[in-house]
């Protein structure tokens, strides 16, 4: 028998065996599907009905990459995502031909000046220089990987001039002086893995003049890796400043306050995406995280909806005073505003008591989270552009605006969004998801599952291998520097020598009919209807 015939016979039996296996598997699945009681589609359409569940599973990926256009994707569109990536990767973000924004829609616009400021007229700290690495795109072929090279890049840090520096807690023993208006919003170690936290710390430290918020999960060694200034958040669970019984520990607080990098403390009353205590699933609670938080490992953690240490403004302000006196450092609070009455009550109590926070972090309802419930994330708490005027107006009405700084957060991941927020009353802004994207986030929407495919929102050591700290830290630095540069660019266009000088007069609102309203008029309509 010839070799060809032997190979033909072997091939026939091979494919016959494969066919038989497939038939057996098909019959097995048919019997299972026909007799199961959970899925009616599979009872009526055994085997082929499984295609439906496959498409349902991969639906988010299909929409993200194929079916949603550049502006439709949520929570962050593909267009916005790419702008963040370009700033972090190339330290440059330019477009050609024209904007893709729909100018027929209603929206806020920054008023340009007939006589903008020249580059040499801008007031900034020109002595603070930063050297990072950025990619230079050489060629982008159709079928092969784009050709890029990594190069060192030196630039000014685009920090505020000393005269415009923002002082938080000016009457405390250790005021927090900030020269960059953009910082990292609260993201806990545990919600993010140690590589992500380390990368963000190093990148922000490299960029200078900024800060990172620890989130309510407590301070870890990874937050300290980059030497960046830190705002330590204290949530209702008291993680990092409690004992193992869950009681507040003044000794633990004092110990944290003696760390030079910690510049301020923040009491978390609420978060835009959850309006509830924080949550972390059991699989994320490693022994290290449990030790930091002083809880049991590998058990889900839910912190209370509010602090047990206080129940009204007088008791909360007294608690804030105690922390400020005990640490000598500024103390703030993170809140979500739901109406003008809440903002007015807060401002009135600050005025009447002569006490209160050194800063207020105002989170909009559009803010992100590692884990929350849909009904809370979608419908509880006002978005930032409605909430900011309410808080700013209330503080001004009661004459306490100068003693309280406002940090705004809620999808403020581009310079124009930040400029509008500053004009609405914010002194500083926090960003979370923008910084996550700089270290590799692809919006897989699996933050709550510990299955983040790029190693960002996970404590799984195998998945975290995807995140290369020494490459991504430069992207974080590039992003925040590019954002500050963009802020100065907008300020110059508005006729300002610094983004520290944005006011309500620099923004207008155009409705869907083309009518233009000043921000002062919008303020009044929001306040009167709040």
Kindly report the three-state secondary structure assignment for every residue of 461-481.
HHHHCCCCHHHHHHHHHHHHH
* Digit-coded pLDDT (tens) for 392-404: 999 999 999 999 9
Rg for the chain, CA atoms, rounded: 26
- Does the pLDDT value for residue 479 go beyond 80? yes
Mean pLDDT of the chain: 89
Distances (CA, A) of 508 to 202, 248, 415, 483, 515: 38, 46, 16, 22, 10
Concatenate the DSSP letters of all residues of 399-432 into one string: T-GGG-EEEEESS--SHHHHHHHHHTT-SEEEES
* Digit-coded pLDDT (tens) for 110-138: 999 999 999 999 999 999 999 999 998 88
> Around Cβ 102, how many Cβ atoms within 10 Å?
8
Contact 463, 451 (CB under 8 A): yes
CA 347 to CA 335: how far, in whole Å?
A: 13
CA 435 to CA 499: how far, in whole Å?
A: 21
Q: Find residue 231's DSSP bridge partners.
A: 213, 264
CA 432 to CA 407: how far, in whole Å?
A: 13
Of 49, 67, 85, which residue is a domain's last? 67
Helices of type H across 246-294: 250-257, 287-293
Q: Are residues 270 and 162 in the same domain?
A: yes
From 92, 96, 94, select the one nearest 135 (Cα to Cα): 92
Task: Return the C-alpha torsion angle 157, 161, 213, 458, nearest 10.
Answer: -10
Distances (CA, A) of 267 to 37, 163, 182, 232, 358: 49, 29, 20, 9, 11
Concatenate the DSSP letters of all residues of 215-256 into one string: -TT---TTTTTT--EEEEEE-TT-TTSB-TTS-B-HHHHHHH
Q: Are residues 346 and 229 in the same domain?
A: yes
Q: Are residues 293 and 390 in the same domain?
A: yes
> Around Cβ 397, how many Cβ atoms within 10 Å?
15
Q: How confident is the model at residue 477 (pLDDT cuts 50, 70, 90)?
A: very high
- 140, with CB counted inside 10 A (0-12, 13-18, 19+), is exposed
Q: Are residues 43 and 159 in the same domain?
A: no
Q: Are residues 167 and 56 in the same domain?
A: no
The pairing of strands 279-280 and 301-302 is antiparallel
Distances (CA, A) of 143 to 64, 82, 148, 303: 21, 20, 15, 50
**Under DSSP, is residue 483 helix (H, G, I), strand (E, B) or coil?**
helix
Q: Are residues 166 and 62 in the same domain?
A: no
Q: Count how many domains the chain has.
A: 2
At 378 the pLDDT is 67
Would 257 be classed as within a structural domain? Answer: yes
Would 144 be classed as within a structural domain? Answer: no
* Digit-coded pLDDT (tens) for 408-439: 999 999 999 999 999 999 999 999 999 999 99
Q: How confident is the model at residue 241 (pLDDT cuts 50, 70, 90)?
A: very high
Would 73 be classed as within a structural domain? Answer: no
Contact 223, 262 (CB under 8 A): no
At 146 the pLDDT is 77
Q: Per the omega criterion (within 30 degrees of 0), is the bond before 391 cis?
A: no
Chain centroid offset of residue 191 CA: 12
Of 23, 52, 67, which residue is a domain's last? 67
**Under DSSP, is residue 194 helix (H, G, I), strand (E, B) or coil?**
helix
* Digit-coded pLDDT (tens) for 152-200: 999 999 999 999 999 999 999 999 999 999 999 999 998 899 999 999 9
The domain in which residue 221 lies consists of 154-528
Q: Are residues 159 and 62 in the same domain?
A: no
Mean pLDDT, residues 15-30: 90
Would 96 be classed as within a structural domain? Answer: no
CA 285 to CA 496: how far, in whole Å?
A: 48
At 483 the pLDDT is 97
Output b/e per residue, 158-193; b: 16+ Cβ within 10 A.
bbbeeebebebbeebeebbebbbbbbbbbbbbbbbb
Distances (CA, A) of 140 to 79, 143, 469: 19, 9, 26
- Token pair 């009526």 is at which residue? 44
**CATH code, domain with 521:** 3.20.20.70
The pairing of strands 159-160 and 166-168 is unpaired
At 180 the pLDDT is 97
CA 218 to CA 227: how far, in whole Å?
A: 17
Q: Are residues 41 and 164 in the same domain?
A: no
pTM over 0.85: yes
Would 112 be classed as within a structural domain? Answer: no
Q: Are residues 39 and 176 in the same domain?
A: no
Would 13 be classed as within a structural domain? Answer: yes
- Does the pLDDT value for residue 79 go beyond 60? yes
Would 78 be classed as within a structural domain? Answer: no
Chain centroid offset of residue 406 CA: 17
105 is written with which tokens?
């829609």
Q: Are residues 191 and 304 in the same domain?
A: yes
Would 125 be classed as within a structural domain? Answer: no
176 is written with which tokens?
């927090």
Of 67, 99, 115, which residue is a domain's last? 67
Contact 221, 195 (CB under 8 A): no
The distance in angstroms from the start CA to the end CA of the chain is 92
138 is written with which tokens?
């050489």
At 278 the pLDDT is 63
Distances (CA, A) of 261 to 174, 191, 221, 247, 449: 12, 22, 12, 25, 31
329 is written with which tokens?
């450092």
Q: Are residues 168 and 21 in the same domain?
A: no
At 199 the pLDDT is 97
Chain centroid offset of residue 66 CA: 25
At 369 the pLDDT is 72
Cβ contacts of residue 341 below 8 Å, gap of 6+?
Answer: 530
CA 317 to CA 218: how far, in whole Å?
A: 22
Range from 7-21, 203-217, 230-244 carrying the lowest mean pLDDT: 7-21
At 100 the pLDDT is 84
């Amino acid at each position: 028998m010839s070799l060809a015939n032997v190979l033909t016979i072997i091939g026939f039996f091979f494919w016959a065996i494969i066919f038989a296996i497939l038939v057996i598997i098909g019959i097995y699945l048919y019997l299972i599907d026909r007799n199961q009681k959970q899925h009616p589609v599979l009872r009526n359409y055994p085997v082929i009905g499984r295609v439906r569940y496959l498409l349902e599973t991969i639906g988010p990926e299909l929409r993200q990459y194929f079916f949603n256009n550049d502006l439709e994707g949520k929570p962050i569109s593909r267009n916005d995502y790419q702008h963040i990536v370009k700033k972090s990767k190339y330290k440059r973000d330019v477009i050609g031909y024209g904007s893709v924004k729909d100018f027929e829609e209603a929206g806020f616009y920054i008023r340009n000046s007939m006589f903008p400021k020249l580059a040499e007229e801008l007031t900034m700290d020109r002595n603070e220089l930063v050297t990072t690495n950025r990619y230079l795109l050489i060629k982008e072929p159709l079928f092969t990987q784009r050709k890029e090279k990594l190069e060192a890049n030196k630039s000014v840090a685009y920090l505020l001039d000393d005269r415009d520096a923002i002082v938080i807690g000016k009457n405390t023993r250790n005021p927090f002086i900030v020269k960059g208006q953009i910082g990292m919003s609260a993201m806990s170690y545990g919600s993010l893995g140690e590589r992500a936290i380390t990368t963000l710390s190093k990148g922000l430290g490299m960029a200078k003049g900024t800060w990172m918020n620890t989130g309510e999960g407590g301070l870890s060694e990874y937050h300290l890796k980059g030497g960046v200034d830190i705002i330590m958040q204290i949530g209702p669970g008291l993680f990092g400043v409690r004992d193992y019984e869950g009681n507040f520990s003044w000794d633990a607080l004092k110990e944290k306050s003696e760390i030079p990098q910690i510049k301020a403390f923040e009491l978390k009353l609420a978060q835009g995406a959850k309006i509830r205590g924080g949550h972390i699933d059991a699989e994320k609670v490693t022994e290290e995280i449990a030790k930091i938080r002083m809880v049991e490992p590998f058990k889900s953690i839910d912190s209370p909806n509010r602090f047990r240490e206080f129940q009204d403004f007088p008791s909360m302000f007294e608690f804030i005073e105690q922390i400020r006196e005990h640490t000598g450092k500024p103390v703030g609070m993170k809140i979500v505003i739901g109406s003008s009455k809440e903002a007015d009550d807060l401002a009135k109590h600050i005025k009447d008591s002569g006490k209160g926070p050194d800063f207020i972090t105002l989170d909009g309802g559009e803010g992100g989270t590692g884990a929350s419930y849909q009904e809370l994330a979608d419908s509880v708490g006002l978005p930032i552009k409605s909430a900011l005027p309410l808080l700013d107006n209330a503080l001004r009405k009661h004459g306490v605006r100068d003693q309280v700084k406002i940090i705004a957060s809620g999808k403020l991941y581009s310079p124009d969004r930040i400029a509008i927020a500053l004009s609405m009353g914010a002194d500083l802004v926090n960003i979370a998801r923008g910084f996550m994207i700089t270290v590799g986030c692809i919006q897989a929407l699996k933050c709550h599952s510990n299955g983040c495919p790029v190693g960002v929102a996970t404590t799984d050591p195998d998945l975290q291998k995807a995140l290369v700290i020494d490459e991504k830290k430069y992207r974080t630095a590039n992003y925040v520097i590019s954002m500050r540069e963009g802020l100065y660019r907008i300020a110059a266009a508005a006729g300002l020598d610094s983004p520290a000088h944005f006011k309500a007069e620099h923004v207008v609102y155009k409705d869907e009919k083309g009518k233009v309203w000043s921000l002062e008029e919008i303020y009044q309509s929001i306040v009167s209807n709040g």
